[in-house]
Amino acid sequence: MKKLFPLLMLVGLTSFGQEKITLPSPTKFGGMPLMEALAARHSTRKFQTEPIAEQKLGDLLWAAFGFNRANMRTAPSALNKQGVELYVVRPDGAWRYEPQEHALLKVNNDDVRGKTAAMKQQAFAANAPMSIVFVFDTNVIPTIGDRKPNVMEWAKLDTGFAAQNVYLACASMGLGTCARGSFKHDDLAPVLKLAEGKVVTLCMPVGVPED
Ligand SMILES: Cc1cc2nc3c(=O)[nH]c(=O)nc-3n(C[C@H](O)[C@H](O)[C@H](O)COP(=O)(O)O)c2cc1C
């Protein structure tokens, strides 16, 4: 029973009937020393099929852009607007990470992993047990005086900080990942049910490395 526990999920329904998984509290101690994680960090493109246990998934999402202080995150953000949103696509559907609750809310029942792989050579992304899809809410960036900031530049910078957290957390946990820019926003936006002004900025397949 003890061995099974890390794989158990707290699945429920929100008051709107949306499927919800409450993730186990993030592990905020231990892991690999930072310099060793940096030494181990690399891109992986071959994954085993085994799914990622909920504890590791929750730890990864928290590392990427969870709350580590009251209202503040594990990665910096321009103007502290915290516009990065994380989605998880895996065989049981597409899920949005809710960082305040440390939970996943289902947005699609279908397996849409293939939608992250815009090109044939990128099929490895469709076959990984899951991908994290980074979305940026451009609505959060205000006009400053008479100057509109270059929103996409900020979106990509904010995404980069969170993405490096995923690389390092994966290295620490013995998981593999790869930053991927070769996706089409228009393939992903409808299946993730993205609202106007939300843009897909990066995809990162995650799995146990094949070798
Ligand atoms: C913004 C960005 C986009 C990338 N897009 C892809 C991609 O679409 N497909 C892919 O296989 N690798 C992609 N990569 C991974 C790079 O190819 C990889 O980081 C680089 O070759 C260095 O290898 P390393 O990460 O193992 O150090 C991307 C990396 C970054 C930072």
For residue range 50-103, list pLDDT tens digits in order: 999 999 999 999 999 999 999 999 999 999 999 999 999 999 999 999 999 999
How far does the centroid of ligand 1 lie from the alpha carbon of residue 11, in Å? 34
How far does the centroid of ligand 1 lie from the alpha carbon of residue 103, in Å? 28
Q: What are the tens digits of pLDDT across the range 96-144?
A: 999 999 999 999 999 999 999 988 788 999 999 999 999 999 999 988 8
Nearest CA to ligand 1 atom 15: 179
Phi first, then psi: give them for residue 171, nearest 5 degrees.
Answer: -60, -45
Name the residue ranges covered by the structural domains of the chain: 5-207
- Residue pair 134/204 in contact by the 8 Å Cβ criterion: yes
In a 3-state reduction of DSSP, which class is residue 20?
strand
CA distance linking residue 28 with residue 177, whole number of Å: 21
How far does the centroid of ligand 1 lie from the alpha carbon of residue 179, in Å? 5
Number of C-beta neighbours around residue 36 at 10 A: 12
Nearest CA to ligand 1 atom 7: 180
CATH of domain 5-207: 3.40.109.10
Q: What is the pLDDT of residue 12?
A: 85
182 lines ligand 1 (CB under 6 A): yes
Q: What is the pLDDT of residue 142?
A: 87
